[in-house]
Copies of this chain bind each other. A is one copy, B any other.
Amino acid sequence: MAPEGAFKNRAKTGATLEEVARHAGVSPATVSRCLNSPDLVRPALKSKVEAAIRLLDYVPHGGARSLASRRSRMIGAIFPILDTTLFGRTLEALQQEVGEAGYTLVVASYGYDLEREQHHVRNLLTSGIDALVLVGGIRDDSVYRLIERNGVPYVLIWISESDGERPCIGFDNAEAARRAARHLLDMGHSRIGVISGFVKDNDRAAARIAGTRSALAEQGLTLDESLVLERPFGSTEGREAFRLLMTRRPRPTAVICGSEPFAYGALFEAQALGLKVPDEVSITGFDDFWLAAQMTPGLTTVRTPQSEMGRLAGRHLLSVLAGEEAVPPSPLDVELIVRGSTGPPPADAP
C-alpha cells in the first residue's frame, strides 16, 4: 500500500546559527564563538545568545560544522557482535570515555564477516568519524589503506601485535591461553581438549589455540588435533562440543575453552552427563564474565581487561586527536583466576 511516489517530505529543519544571531542581535560569528570559545565573548552578549539558543531549541548542524572545521567529533567502533556480553564492557567503557570528552560513538557489528566489516569501515568513514576502533588485526590491507589515506587515526583492540606494525590496545592472547594451559599441566593433565571459536579471520581465537599448543610443547607434549573443536560462539555450542569431546577415547581429562560461553555450556553439560567437575574433568574459561564466579563449581578462567581496553582505546584516540604524541600502551595484563572447575586429573587416567 505504499506507492513509490510518496517521498520527498523533508522534515522542517531546526533553527540555524544565523537565526540565533538575529534573535540575539549579534553577528553569526559571535554565536559561533559562544559555542566554541566562550571565553572570547563578553558575558553580556553571551547570555543574550544563550537565551536565543534556548528559545529556539537551537542545535548546531554537525554536518556544516564538520565541513567547516574538518572534524566531526564522532568516533567509530566496529565490533564482531553486539548481542552477547562478549564486547559489552569494552563498548560501555569506550562510549563513556569518548562521551565525556564530548564525542559521539558510532558503532557497527559484522557477525565475524570480514566483507561486512569492510563495508562498515566505508560507511563510518563516510559518516565522517574522526577516529576508528577495530577488533583484532585480520583484514584486507586495502582496508587499512583506505583508513590511512583518509587520515583517520585508529587502534586495534583485543590483540597486541608484537611486531608493532599497527597501534594495538589489548593483551597477548597466546600468553593468556598459555597461562590456563600451564595451570592444567602443572596439575598433571596431559590429555587436553580445546573448544575454540573459528580460527579463520579471527586472530584472537588462533592465538589462543597457538598458546595452548605451545604450553604443551614446553612439556614435550603435543596437542591432539582431534581434540580441537571449532564452533560458533555460544553456550549451546559449548555443550554440544563438550559432549563430543567426552566420547573421545582416551577421554581428555581437561577442556580449555577459548571463549567463556563455551565453558558455561561445558559445565552445564558435564552436570547433565553426571561427570564430576573437577574430579573427573577440569574446565577452563576465558574472559571472566559475572557468571564465572556464580556457578558451582566456580569457573577457573583468564580474566581479560575488557573495560580497560575500551577506556584506553578511547583515551589514546582522543589524545591523538588532540595532537599529542601518543603511543599505545604496552600489552595489558591478564590474570588467571583459579576457581573450583579445575583440579588434578582422575587417578585412573591413562
Contact = CB atoms under 8 A, between A and B. Distances in A.
A337 to B, nearest CB: 16
B95 A108 contact: yes
B62 A128 contact: yes
Contacts of A59: 122, 125-126, 146, 150
A92 interface: yes
Interface string A266-302: 0010010000000000000000001100111000000
Interface in A58-81: 59-67, 70-74, 81
A138 interface: no
A243 interface: no
Contact of A6 (B105, B239, B323): B323
Interface of chain A: mostly helix, strand, loop or mixed: mixed
Given A59-B125, A67-B67, A91 B95 contact: no
Contact of A324 (B2, B74, B124, B268): B2
Interface stretch (A82-90, A163-171, A185-193): A82-90
Interface size class of A (residues with CB under 8 A): 35 or more
Contacts of A145: 57
Contacts of A152: 11
A84 B88 contact: yes
Interface of A: 2, 6-15, 56-57, 59-67, 70-74, 81-85, 88-89, 91-93, 95-96, 99, 102, 104-109, 120, 122-128, 145-146, 149-153, 234-236, 239, 264-265, 268, 271, 290-291, 294-296, 307, 319, 322-325
Given A13-B151, A104-B106, A235-B291, 17 more contacts: A2-B319, A6-B322, A11-B151, A11-B152, A13-B150, A15-B149, A56-B149, A62-B72, A62-B126, A63-B63, A67-B67, A82-B92, A84-B88, A95-B109, A235-B290, A268-B295, A291-B291
